[in-house]
């Protein structure tokens, strides 16, 4: 309260000088009482304080505006110059509003000081002065904390500028993490430091202690979660999933995401346990539960058997990699891509824009097709039936021309073979390679369409047909009891 007493003494001295000045201007009428113990001079002194701080606010705002305008008009050509300009702008942006509020915290208190001085001695006056004193302390403290929080953004910007010139991967991880740590430490530290200023009654000390502990636990948990996220982003940024050959990238993305989610679950459990341990009642309850831990573990194990199976299956998937993110798979007869892998299930984006959700244990215990397990390259097949009179050797060059004209063909391999012969037709198979399954589908469709059009135009008689041979037409007519042949000849 020493600071408050000095401010009150200063306010009292300045109020006395203002009273003398007002007396000289308006005469003794300024000493007339208006409301209770307050005179026109007291209100005039408060008004003078308010006008003074209003002028101070306008002056500071004008100076900051001028500085920012000069910086924005500065055309820096070097990288260092532009970074320095951006940093100075960030400093002025961060300082501006807290500085305005600080001016009005002091201005408001000094404007009320002449009125507080005139309160008659007694408990009510002392309580009013104590309330305004604590309000002033908290106001100044809050403004300073706000200023530090805004300045952490400036520190973040400076760290980003420094990391941009560094080629170390460790810097890319540590620099954003340091900025996040500052944003967590400043508010928590401010709350803990503000508790003594508030002066809570002793009955609330236990509540304040628990609230501080919970804030610390929450801040540490937030920092750990942020660390995991930053590490994941740094690692994944080195592997691009959009490139054509993304096998290595899909492997790393799958492993990192599964491991990250596992760490998140562990951190969430530790955070919840740490928060509950703050309360003594929970600690006693937990101690009593430990006596029956064996029975509880058996019950929990039986209840969570399927969940634990999927969790362990997730570790197997991360290590063995039977599937990865963006893998092309066929599950339960549906073609799709692996869209998401969680700790308990896998989401398959099916070709018709539906989603299939399968438990992780499915991919450990049941067979499925993975078309991109080793490589995205794939061979497409086109089958069609034709008549026996189709000249296959004459058709083969045309098939080559059709395939070579398809943009989806990756120029690795193509072939035409007769793979089946029935009593009515022959089956031909065309093989052609593509770089991935989507292109292979389009390639097969285009080949099928162009081969069909070619056969219809050049070999229409070679399309599949049904044959029938009549060896004795007269005998057939007599068998059905007719007296007239269908070809117009009469029978005897």
Q: Please report, for the domain that includes residue 343, its CATH number.
A: 2.30.30.60
pLDDT tens by residue, 372-400: 777 778 888 899 899 988 898 889 999 99
140, 165, 190: which is the final residue of a domain?
A: 165
Residues 304 and 339 occupy one common structural domain = yes
99 and 32 inside one domain: yes
Same-domain pairing of 407 and 275: no
Asked whether residue 16 is assigned to any structural domain, the reply reads yes
Please report, for the domain that includes residue 396, its CATH number: 3.30.70.100
In a domain, 40, yes or no: yes
Same-domain check for residues 344 and 411: no
On whether residue 225 sits in a domain, the answer given is no
Residues 309 and 443 in one domain: no
pLDDT exceeds 70 at position 19: no
Where is the domain boundary, 370, 396, 411? 370
Confidence (pTM)? 0.49
The domain containing residue 421 runs over which residues? 378-462
pLDDT in tens, 293-346: 454 455 445 444 555 565 666 666 666 678 888 788 888 888 888 888 877 788
307 and 451 housed in the same domain: no
Tell me, yes or no, whether 232 lies in a domain.
no
HEC profile for the chain? CHHHHHHHHHHHHHHHHHHHHHHHHHHHHHHCEEECCEEHHHHHHHHHHHHHHHHHHHHHHHHHHHHHHHHHHCCCCCHHHHHHHHHHHHHHHHHHHHHHHHHHHHHHHHHHHHHHHCCCCCHHHHHHHHHHHHHHHHHHHHHHHHHHHHHHHHHHHHHHHHHHCCCCHHHHHHHHHHHHHHHHHHHHHHHHHHHHHHCCCHHHHHHHHHHHHHHHHHHHHHHHHHHHHHHHHHHHCCCCCCCCCCHHHHHHHHHHHHHHHHHHHHHHHHHHHHHHHCCHHHHHHHHHHHCCHHHHHHHHHHHCHHHHHHHHHHHHHHHHCCCCCCCEEEECCEEEEEEEECCCEEEEEECCCCEEEEECCHHHHCCCEECCCCCCCEEEEEEEEECCCCCHHHHHHHHHHHHHCCCCEEEEEEEEEEEEECCCCEEEEEEEEECCHHHHHHHHHHHHHHHHHHHHHHCHHHCCCCCCCCCCHHHHHHHCCCCECCCCCECC
Considering only residues 287 and 64, tell me which one the structure prediction assigns the higher pLDDT. Answer: 64
Specify whether 137 is located in the same domain as 34: yes
Note whether 20 and 141 are same-domain residues: yes
Residues 340 and 401 in one domain: no
**In-domain check, residue 250:** no
Domain boundary among 340, 370, 400: 370
pLDDT in tens, 264-288: 888 888 888 777 777 776 665 545 5
Domains contained in the chain, number:
3
Domain co-membership, 333 together with 398? no
44 and 134 share a domain?
yes
Question: Does 431 fall in a domain?
Answer: yes
């Amino acid at each position: 309260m020493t600071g408050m007493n000095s401010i009150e003494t200063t306010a009292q001295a300045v109020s006395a000088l203002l009273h003398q000045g007002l007396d000289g201007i308006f005469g003794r009428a300024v000493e007339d009482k208006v409301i209770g113990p307050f005179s026109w001079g007291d209100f005039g002194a408060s008004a003078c304080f308010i006008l003074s701080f209003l002028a101070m606010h306008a002056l500071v705002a004008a100076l900051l505006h001028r500085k920012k305008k000069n910086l924005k008009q500065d055309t820096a050509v070097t990288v260092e110059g532009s970074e320095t300009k951006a940093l100075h702008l960030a400093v002025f942006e961060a300082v501006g509003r807290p500085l305005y509020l600080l001016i009005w915290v002091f201005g408001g208190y000094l404007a009320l000081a002449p009125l507080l001085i005139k309160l008659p001695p007694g408990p009510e006056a002392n309580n009013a002065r104590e309330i305004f004193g604590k309000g002033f302390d908290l106001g100044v403290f809050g403004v300073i904390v706000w200023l530090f929080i805004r300045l952490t953004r400036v520190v973040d910007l400076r760290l980003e500028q420094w990391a941009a010139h560094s080629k170390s991967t460790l810097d890319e991880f540590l620099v954003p993490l340091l900025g996040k740590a500052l944003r967590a430490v400043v508010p928590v530290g401010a709350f803990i430091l503000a508790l003594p200023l508030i002066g809570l009654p002793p009955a609330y000390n236990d509540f304040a202690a628990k609230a501080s502990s919970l804030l610390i636990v929450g801040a540490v948990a937030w920092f750990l979660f942020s660390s995991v996220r930053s590490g994941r982003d740094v690692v994944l940024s080195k592997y691009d999933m959009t490139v054509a050959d993304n096998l290595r990238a899909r492997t790393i993305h799958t492993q990192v995401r599964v491991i990250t989610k596992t760490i998140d679950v562990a951190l969430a459990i530790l955070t919840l346990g740490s928060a509950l341990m703050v309360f003594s009642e929970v600690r006693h309850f937990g101690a009593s539960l430990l006596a029956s831990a064996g029975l509880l573990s058996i019950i929990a194990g039986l209840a969570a058997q399927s969940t634990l199976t999927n969790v362990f299956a997730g570790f197997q998937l991360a290590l063995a990699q039977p599937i990865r993110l963006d893998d092309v798979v066929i599950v339960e007869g549906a073609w799709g891509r692996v869209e998401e892998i969680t700790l308990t299930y896998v989401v398959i984006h099916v070709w018709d824009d539906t989603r299939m959700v399968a438990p992780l244990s499915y991919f450990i215990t049941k067979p499925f097709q993975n078309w991109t397990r080793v490589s995205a390259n794939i061979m497409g097949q086109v089958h069609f039936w034709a008549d026996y009179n189709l000249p296959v050797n004459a058709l083969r060059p045309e098939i080559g021309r059709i395939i070579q004209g398809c943009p989806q063909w990756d120029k690795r391999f193509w072939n035409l073979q007769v793979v089946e012969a029935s009593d009515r037709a022959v089956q031909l198979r065309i093989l052609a390679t593509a770089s991935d399954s989507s292109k292979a589908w389009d390639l097969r469709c285009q080949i099928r369409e162009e081969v069909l059009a070619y056969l219809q135009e050049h070999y229409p008689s070679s399309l599949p047909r049904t044959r029938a041979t009549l060896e004795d037409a007269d005998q057939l007519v007599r068998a059905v009891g007719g007296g007239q042949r269908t070809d117009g000849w009469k029978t005897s």
